[in-house]
């Protein structure tokens, strides 16, 4: 990164410990029922101080095997991944009964928040931003999907949570993939609970939401949803209710982008529709194949690959305030349902709580570990999209199984104990 924008951190919230092992807690960024996220520094001699983010599980959950095991699995996988387009996790441990992860601090915004600010400012993001983000994410997934253990055993990684909230963009235009909290891999494959679906419904592939066998092509489908929404400014499967979202995502009916956004580039439409094929065999078969497809398209448009466009977009959407401070969210993976404050909603220079962004509300109603018996396997009516923000109201599907609503509600309550670190 060529430069780093700096701001003066606000004081830590009342009750925040000043020290946590070798780390100094500066500010609580997000709080929830299962973990806290802090801005921290790792201090050394002669004024050395490195900012980082600490994700800390609460002691009462650290003593519950499923939570500590998932947290450890996340750390094991993240420790194997070192790539410029993946948020770096560089420390894991346990202090006073509390497990923690220390992660790279990205001063920037989530893609979700960028999309909302752009919509509010009536700034279309369009093909160029979509291609830049797509190339960065496909590069990250190419690396992650091909990663092996130290003995050469394939990691067989599937992220399972590719969403706008987990795509981070720094103020310098660097794009990074975050949060491997529900990753599937050879490290934790044997620990996956049978009959449970993990992820955010609006970004699940058809095979993920119906609990079929997953491979890396599921991540490509989820990335396709993100790029579709980024390029068109319209939600693809998100609906007003969790149940309607589940039905829309399981159907997987994708209106061609040119129907949603007239004049949409034909070649980019071809790429997105291939990514979003219901049958995994009809999609791009690897992230490298997608990367090359997007690179050919960018080259044909004579666009550069410096990241300058994204950096300019960031400074336009999130300019300095009157005092000259950069208004920026601390783009941190791993925020939780039930947060009392949300990292995407407050910058470091403005610590008071603000209204929760819509995508966090979406996490509450449509992100959980839900028994698959409550999820639909049949198809119904076509999908309707919504402008970002907010999603357009949509009529209930004519063939909507109303029994699903009650069943899903019961399942959601029953599985609440499994909610964990969703960004």
Catalytic residue positions? 161
Distance CA 39, CA 62 (A): 21
Q: Give the three-state DSSP class for 28.
A: strand
Distance CA 115, CA 82 (A): 27
Asked if 233 contacts 115 with a C-beta cutoff of 8 angstroms, the reply is yes
Q: What is the DSSP pairing of strand 330-331 with strand 167-170?
A: unpaired
What stretch of H or E contains 221?
A: helix 216-232
What strands lie across the sheet with 89-95, from one edge to the other? 19-20, 23-31, 35-43, 49-57, 98-103, 89-95
Asked if 89 contacts 52 with a C-beta cutoff of 8 angstroms, the reply is no
Asked if 58 contacts 34 with a C-beta cutoff of 8 angstroms, the reply is yes
CA–centroid distance for 408 within its chain: 23
Q: How many CB atoms lie within 10 A of CB 330?
A: 24
User: Which of 1, 291, 273, 256 lies closest to 146, judged by CA?
Assistant: 291
User: Which of 353, 324, 338, 422 lies closest to 28, judged by CA?
Assistant: 353
Within 13 A of 92's CA, how many CA atoms are on the CB side? 15
Cite the DSSP H helix spans in 104-205.
111-120, 126-146
Q: Give the three-state DSSP class for 19.
A: strand
Cα distances from 36 to residues 28, 30, 110, 335, 422, in angstroms, run: 7, 6, 19, 8, 12
Mind giving me the DSSP string for 74-118?
Answer: HHHHHHT---TTB--EEEEEEETTEEEEEE--EEEEEHHHHHHHH
């Amino acid at each position: 990164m060529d430069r780093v924008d700096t701001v003066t951190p606000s004081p830590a919230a009342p009750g925040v410990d000043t020290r946590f092992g070798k780390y100094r807690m500066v500010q609580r960024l997000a709080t929830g029922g299962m973990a806290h996220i802090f801005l921290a520094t790792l201090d050394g001699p002669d004024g050395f101080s490195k900012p980082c983010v600490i994700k800390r599980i609460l002691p009462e959950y650290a003593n519950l095997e499923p939570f500590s095991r998932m947290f450890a699995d996340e750390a094991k996988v993240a420790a194997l991944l070192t790539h410029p387009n993946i948020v770096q996790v560089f420390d894991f441990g346990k202090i006073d009964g509390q497990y923690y992860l220390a992660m790279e601090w990205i001063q920037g915004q989530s893609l979700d928040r960028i999309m909302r600010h752009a919509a509010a400012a009536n700034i279309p993001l369009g093909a160029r931003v979509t291609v830049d983000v797509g190339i960065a994410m496909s590069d990250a997934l190419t690396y992650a999907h091909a990663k092996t253990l130290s003995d050469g055993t394939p990691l067989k990684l599937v992220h399972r949570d590719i969403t706008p909230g987990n795509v981070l963009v720094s103020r310098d235009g660097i794009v990074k993939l975050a949060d491997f909290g529900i990753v599937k891999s050879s490290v934790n494959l044997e620990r996956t609970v049978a009959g449970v679906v993990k992820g955010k419904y609006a970004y699940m592939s058809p095979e993920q939401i119906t609990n079929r066998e997953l491979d890396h092509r599921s991540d490509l489908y989820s990335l396709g949803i993100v790029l579709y929404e980024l390029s068109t400014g319209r939600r693809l499967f998100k609906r007003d209710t969790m149940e309607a979202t589940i039905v829309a995502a399981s159907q997987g009916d994708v209106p061609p982008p040119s129907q949603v956004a007239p004049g949409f580039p034909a070649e980019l439409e071809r790429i997105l529709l291939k990514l979003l094929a219901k049958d995994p065999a009809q999609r791009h078969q690897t992230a490298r194949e997608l990367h090359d497809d997007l690179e050919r398209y960018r080259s044909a448009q004579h666009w550069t690959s410096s990241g300058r466009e994204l950096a300019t977009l960031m400074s336009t959407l999130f300019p300095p305030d009157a005092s000259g401070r950069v208004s920026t969210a601390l783009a941190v993976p791993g925020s939780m349902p039930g947060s009392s404050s949300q990292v995407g909603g407050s910058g470091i220079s403005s610590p008071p709580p603000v209204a929760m962004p819509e995508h966090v509300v979406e996490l509450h109603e449509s992100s959980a570990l839900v028994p698959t018996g409550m999820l639909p396997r049949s198809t119904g009516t076509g999908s309707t999209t919504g402008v970002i923000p907010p999603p357009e109201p949509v009529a209930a599907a004519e063939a909507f199984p109303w029994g699903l609503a009650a069943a899903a509600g019961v399942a959601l309550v029953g599985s609440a104990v499994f909610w964990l670190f969703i960004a």
